[in-house]
A and B are shown apart, each in its own frame.
Chain A
Amino acid sequence: MSKPIPASLTAARRLPNVWDVLAAACVLAGLIALVRVSPATFQPLDAPQATVVTLDPYNLPVYALRTTMRMFAALFASLVFTFTVAPLAAKSRRAGLVLIPILDILQSVPILGFLTFTTAFFMSLFPGKVAGLELAAIFAVFTSQAWNMAFSMYQSLTTLPADLVEATRAYRLSGWQRFWKLEVPFAMPGLVWNMMLSMSGGWFFVVASEAISLGDQNWKLPGIGSYVSTALDQRSMTAIWWAILAMFVVILAYDQLLFRPLVAWSAKFRVELTAGAVGEDPWVLKLLRRTRVLQLAGDWLSGVFARLGAMRLQSASKPDKAPRAPSRFGDALFFLAAGLVTAAALLAIFDYVTSHDVGWSDLLETFVLGLFTMVRVFVMIALATLLWVPIGVYIGLRPDWARRVQVVVQFAAAFPANLFFPIFVILIVKFHGSSDIWLTPLMILGTQWYILFNVIAGASAFPGDLLEASKNFHVGGWLWWRRVIIPGILPYFITGAITASGGSWNAAIVAEVASWGDSKLVAHGLGSYIARATEEGNFAHVVLGVAMMSAFVLFFNKVLWRPLYAYSTRRLTL
């Protein structure tokens, strides 16, 4: 298995402990704080032409470009976050104790539920300016990317090969030099892979975050997402097709110009001396490597980086860093501070809950709605499994098929599924289908690809000698599925199912409520609860809904998925 595993699984070895309580309290208190600082009443935005979105297709290229720029701004922010937080967590024991559980919990918070508050927060920073909206959209994408990128880097930094670390010490590299010569290159394949995963997910959020409504206020930031939302209001099917086409072109460009070259390029950082079977270079990378002018530009750029990385910045690393015993006093101070912060956070939560009369009945209501959504997620995952596992196995065992299909599936996973929602909504409205049932497939529309993708990867990686052995011993039919292939692909399938189920919970917030002009479809569930509370401006209920959803996601990650993943990798691999 040469493919790096998604960061959401790497915390598998960490057992829940007291630091999780601290983390959970801090995250929740942070959300409440965000709500508190948001202005209670929203001022209208006075920059009319900046937020007018028209359905003229000629405007679409500009909208697409703006959407893409937001994506990249968020990616840049995520990288900065990753390169600061991950090393901090890896190198400082105390920082790690706090940061890792916090990242873990932040991964499970449904970002879409908080879109409104982050918007309100950034608007209050830049009253009356579009910059606030822009920042809010970028922040939404950032929150969908940063956590797992930081996790992946943290994971790499804590598993550096000991011999290479010794080599850097023997040659007396400074900390800064070691970071750029060893740690960053070593973390690169995992980081690039996770970056690509989160970028793919990011399109979904950038589209969702461009059109925000809160109470009577409606904000539209020029972009593909708001274009679609306008098309929904005006019941324009042609505009929706135009938007899908524009998005298709954007994702194609992103896939060809960035995704593929980056993945191929990052392969060179793998710590494997044997040259693995690496596919052919994508054409963009070939172009970069073969073209003289581009090569010179690349050389110049890498020269700048090399010089930057070669600076010592510190006096030489101490020749013999005997592990210092952790300072007792420092520890005491740290634990005291952590305790105080937790207490303060718990107090803030208590205060908020009591002052906003969120009672037990609300808690029960959200819990029951959470169960509804949970059933939806599970049924959808089960259906997707029944559909895609046989297909994925069939494709994965045929290498020439697998390569071609993988490209398409990766593309499908990156495509923001919310652009297709209107088509479903129109059909439901037309045929008067039950929202509770027919809105459900929307949740998995974009995330099912992770299941297919991973099953194909698993089946292609299935050892040829085991297939031969099963043929030689005439193992066929159901026995073959049960004894041979299913155990073989299980770790891959679980990886995919975790990503899919996490994504589906998040998507519930936009998938359980849908509208087409004046017709409005609502399904019962936690997602629609949060959406409704947002619309009514009932902050307390939003906080409660989001907290409940995070609790569900966290619970299933800890109790179901991670143990299953740990079991499958322990038992099912040699």
Chain B
Amino acid sequence: MDGSIAQTKLVEITGCRQSYHKDSSSDLLVLDDVNLTLHTGEIVGLLGRSGSGKSTLLRIVSGLLTPTAGSVKWRGKDLHGPADGVAMVFQSFALFPWLTVDENVELGLEAQGVPKAEREKRAEAAIDLIGLGGYESAYPKELSGGMRQRVGLARALVVHPDLLLMDEPFSALDVLTAETLRTDLVELWSEGKLPIKSILMVTHNIEEAVLMCDRILVFSSNPGRVASELAVPLPHPRNRNEPAFRQLVDDIYALMTRRPVVHASAVPTPSAEAGFATPLAPVSTNLMAGLIEALAQAPYDGKADLPALAAVLQLEADELLPMGEALQLLRLGELADGDLHLTEAGMAFAHADTDGRKDIFAAALRAHVPLVAAIRRTLDERWNHRASAVRFRDELEDHMSPDYAEDTLRTAIAWGRYAELFSYDEEAAQFSLEDIDTTG
């Protein structure tokens, strides 16, 4: 749908901020200063890691959520409450289990008060279009995941929305099913068979974004911002193996690994409070060790191209990137220009035995993760070598949302336990030095 006549603005968002308000302390930002304009005739992708606020932005566009600040214009008018002419497709399908395929599809029309005869006609058209013919009287639980998402699509299309919103619509499906649905949808779109004017989709899958979208907004996390925007000038249907396609994917990987490098260049202040509240992504030590081992071996010998590595390890970008960032945080690895390579410490880790690994990991934690260092220091100082986890959680919550605080603390606990820097009693929510060798 390139070169469409008289592109009109459907959505215009300016200076949008969304904050999570914590009772006492300052606001915690989910989205900060986001601008987005959506025209008719385009598929726009919001690409970013989990927790970058892209789903929040989608809900703001749909009117389900009102932003803390900034303006949202829908067809030129300010938006209040759920927007007319916007239909949403959910990651979890959000089908009503007690309604048949037919009833699910007709729900939106019923809400609009469309007469029964017309409802049935339009539902049938949508069901046929999306390839669900013959399943009208089935209940969602009788359908496979792919068929369920087709119901979700039909339900959205039947109300003839101007804008179709899709929240990671294929991420709950297996690889083959997802691919079939993607190509079906793109085909219908480029043939002009869909009764919609524009699509806005959220995804964390880089290839999916390049495959489907005309324009991609790459989000950075914490707070969510639009880090960069790029157009995809390739005609549909697109071929994943084409050099231009691969190049775009590589570029996006590079874009997404750029930010942490800036972050890491800050002078490390081991004892300062400043680094204490760095959010830690929940990456297990097993995964890290596995990644380091894979990187240390041939054919990588300590350095790998991220898209290729992701393909070999069968990981998606938003799974691989947190692992790489964790390595970077611990100075065991470095991310740059879409590559991940091991540092000397990382190589040493790869070749060490179990105890040696724990020593290297412990040293890295104490030097580069202020939270873990602080926990251990507190335990050393206390006469009974015990400390409550609640205290640390409260301190973290002053700087981040409770979810992040929980994740961060959990990660710190898991890493510290692996490194044998402290023990943790889950039931009492207490750190201690029981069974820990404190001589080293």
**Chain A interfacial positions (CB closer than 8 Å to B):** 268, 289-290, 463, 465-466, 468-476, 479, 483-484, 487-488, 571-574
Please give the distance in Å from B303's CB to the nearest CB on chain A: 36
Interface pairs (11), CB distance under 8 Å? A465-B90, A468-B64, A470-B107, A472-B82, A473-B87, A473-B108, A474-B108, A475-B108, A483-B107, A571-B97, A573-B97
- B94 touching A479 by the CB < 8 A rule? no
Query: Given A472-B82, A473-B107, A474-B112, are A571 and B64 also a contact pair (CB < 8 Å)?
Result: no
- Is B296 at the interface (CB under 8 A from chain A)? no
B90 touches A469 (CB 8 A): yes
When each residue 49-69 of chain B gets 1 if its CB lies under 8 Å from chain A and 0 otherwise, what string results? 000000000010010100000
A471 & B97 in contact (Cβ 8 Å cutoff): no
Q: Pick from B91, B97, B110: contact of A572, CB below 8 A.
A: B97
Which residues of B lie under 8 Å from residue A463 when comparing CB positions?
Answer: 92, 94
Cβ-defined contact, B88 with A472, below 8 A? yes
Check A571–B107 contact: CB distance below 8 A.
Answer: no
Chain B residues within 8 Å of chain A by Cβ, number: 31
Asked whether any CB of chain A lies closer than 8 Å to the CB of B141, the reply is yes
B96 within 8 A of A: yes
Given contacts A289-B427, A571-B98, A574-B140, contact A479 B90 (CB under 8 A): no
CA distance A573 to B108 in the complex (A): 21
Q: How far is it, in angstroms, between the C-alpha of A483 and the C-alpha of B110 when the chains are bound?
A: 10
B111 contacts chain A at the CB level, 8 A cutoff: yes
CA distance A423 to B93 in the complex (A): 53
Contact, CB under 8 Å: B428 / A475: no
Q: Which residue of chain B lies nearest to A573 when distances are taken between CB atoms in the complex?
A: B97
How near does chain A come to B74, taking the closest CB pair, in angstroms? 13
Q: Which 7 A-B pairs have the closest CB atoms?
A: A473-B108, A487-B98, A465-B94, A469-B94, A475-B111, A574-B97, A472-B88
Q: Which residue of B lies closest to A467 (CB)?
A: B94
B62 touches A472 (CB 8 A): yes
Also in contact, A289 and B428, with CB within 8 A (given A465-B94, A474-B111): yes
What residue of chain B has the Cβ atom nearest to residue A292's Cβ? B384
Asked if B159 is an interface residue, CB under 8 A from chain A, the answer is: yes
Alpha-carbon separation in the docked complex, A488 to B94 (Å): 13
Residue B86 CB within 8 A of the other chain: yes
B64 proximity list for chain A (CB < 8 A): 468, 471-472
B contact residues around A469 at 8 Å (CB): 88, 90, 94, 96
Complex CA–CA separation, A335 to B62 (angstroms): 67
In the complex, which residues 260-282 of chain B have their Cβ closer than 8 Å to any Cβ of chain A? none
What chain A residues lie within 8 Å of B389 (beta carbons)? none
Interface centre among A463, A473, A574 (most CB of B within 10 A): A473
Please give me the residue from chain A that is nearest to B139 by CB atom. A571
**B99 at interface, CB cutoff 8 A:** yes
* A-B interface pairs (CB < 8 A), number: 68
Cβ–Cβ < 8 Å partners of A571 in chain B: 97-98, 139
Specify which chain A residues have a CB less than 8 angstroms from the CB of B155 in the assembled complex: 473
Contact residue among B92, B97, B111 (Cβ-Cβ distance under 8 Å from A476): B111
- The reply to whether B107 and A475 contact each other, CB–CB distance below 8 Å, is yes
Q: Which residues of B sit under 8 angstroms from A479, Cβ to Cβ?
A: 110-111
B-side contacts of A468, CB under 8 Å: 59, 64, 88, 90, 94
Give which listed residue, B82, B91, B96, contacts A471 with CB less than 8 A.
B82
Cα distance A268–B87 in the bound complex, in angstroms: 41
Q: Tell me the bound Cα distance from A471 to B427 in angstroms.
A: 40
Q: Which residues from A are CB-within-8-Å of B98?
A: 487-488, 571-572
**Pair A290/B111 contact, Cβ less than 8 Å:** no
Q: What's the minimum C-beta distance from A153 to chain B, rounded to whole angstroms?
A: 25
Question: Which parts of B412-437 form the interface with A (CB within 8 Å)?
Answer: 427-428, 430
Measured in the bound complex, the distance between the Cα atoms of B165 and A140 in whole Å is: 61
Are A484 and B111 within 8 A (Cβ)? no
* Residue numbers in B under 8 Å from A470 (CB-CB): 107
Which residues of B are found within 8 Å of A466, using beta-carbon distances?
94, 96
- Cα separation A326 to B340 with both chains bound (whole Å): 65
Closest Cβ of chain A to B22, distance in Å, is 15
B93: A residues at CB distance < 8 A = 465
Nearest chain B CB to A225 CB, angstrom units: 39
Q: Which residues of A contact B139 (CB under 8 A)?
A: 571
CB distance from B75 to the nearest CB of A (A): 16
Nearest-neighbor residue (CB-CB) of A472 within chain B: B88
Q: Which residues of A contact B94 (CB under 8 A)?
A: 463, 465-466, 468-469
Complex interface: chain A residues within 8 A of B84 (CB): 474
Q: Which residues of B contact A474 (CB under 8 A)?
A: 82, 84, 108, 111-112
Give min CB distance, A206 to chain B, whole Å: 34
Q: Which residues of B contact A483 (CB under 8 A)?
A: 96, 99, 103, 107, 110
Min C-beta distance of A290 to chain B, whole Å: 6
- By a CB distance below 8 angstroms, the chain B residues around A487 are 96, 98
Q: State in angstroms the CA–CA spacing of A476 and B113 once bound together.
A: 11
Instruction: A463-B94, A483-B110 given; name 12 further pairs at CB < 8 Å.
Output: A290-B428, A468-B59, A468-B64, A471-B82, A473-B87, A473-B107, A474-B84, A475-B108, A475-B110, A475-B111, A483-B99, A571-B139
Q: How far is the CA of A479 from the CA of B19 in the complex (A)?
A: 33
The CA of A573 and the CA of B59, in the complex, are separated in Å by 26
Q: CA of A476 to CA of B111 in the docked complex: distance in angstroms? A: 7
Instruction: Determine the distance from Cα of A221 to Cα of B98 in the docked complex, in whole angstroms.
Output: 53
Please give the distance in Å from B20's CB to the nearest CB on chain A.
Answer: 15
Q: Is the CB of B82 within 8 A of A465?
A: no
| Bitwise interface map of B from 392 to 425 toward A, beta carbon under 8 Å scored 1, else 0 | 0000000000000000000000000000000000
- C-alpha gap A5/B97 in the complex (Å): 21
Query: Of all chain A residues, which has the CB nearest B430?
Result: A290
In this complex, what residue of B is CB-closest to A486? B98
A494 to chain B, nearest CB (A): 14
A210 to B90: give the CA distance in the assembly, Å: 58
Q: Are B96 and A473 in contact (CB under 8 A)?
A: no
How far, in whole Å, are A82 and B92 apart by their CA atoms in the complex? 41
Partner of B86, one of A472, A476, A573: A472
**Chain A residue, CB-CB nearest to B82:** A471
Supposing A290-B428, A479-B110, A483-B107 touch, asked if A472 and B96 sit within 8 A by C-beta, the answer is no
Tell which of A289, A465, A475, A574 touches B141, judged by Cβ atoms closer than 8 Å. Answer: A574
Residues of B within 8 A of A268 (CB): 427
Of residues 123 through 151 on chain B, the ones whose CB sits less than 8 Å from some CB of chain A are: 139-141
Q: Which residues of A contact B140 (CB under 8 A)?
A: 574
Which of A289, A469, A470 is the most central at the interface, judged by chain B CB atoms within 10 Å of its CB?
A469
Q: How far is the CA of A555 from the CA of B223 in the complex (A)?
A: 61
Residues of A within 8 Å of B110, CB to CB, are: 475, 479, 483
Given the interface contacts A473-B87, A474-B111, does A465 sit within 8 Å of B96 by beta carbon? no
Which residues of B are found within 8 Å of A472, using beta-carbon distances?
62, 64, 82, 86-88
Chain B: CB-nearest residue to A468: B64
Q: Which residues of the partner chain B approach A574 to less than 8 Å between Cβ atoms?
A: 97, 140-141
A440 to B111, CA, bound (A): 41
Q: What residues of chain B lie closer than 8 Å to A465, measured between beta carbons? A: 90-94
Measured between alpha carbons, how far is A487 from B140 in the docked complex, in Å?
Answer: 15
| Cα distance, A76 to B67, chains bound together (Å) | 56
Closest Cβ–Cβ distance, residue B395 to chain A (whole Å) = 18
- Taking each of B59, B87, B107, B140, which has the highest tally of chain A beta carbons within 10 Å of its own beta carbon? B107
Q: How far is the CA of A225 from the CA of B145 in the complex (A)?
A: 58
* Docked pose: A508 CA to B87 CA in angstroms: 53
- Nearest residue (CB) in B for A571 is B98
- Determine the residue in chain B with the shortest Cβ distance to A268: B427
Report the minimal beta-carbon distance from A572 to chain B, rounded to whole angstroms: 5
**Minimum Cβ distance to chain B for residue A471 (Å):** 5
Tell me the minimal C-beta distance from B407 to chain A in angstroms: 12
Q: How far is the CB of A464 from chain B (nearest CB, A)?
A: 9
Write out the residue numbers on chain A whose beta carbons fall within 8 Å of the beta carbon of B428. 289-290
The answer for the CA separation of A476 and B139 in the assembled complex, in Å, is 23
Contacts of B111 in A (CB 8 A): 473-476, 479
Q: A468 to B89: give the CA distance in the assembly, Å.
A: 11
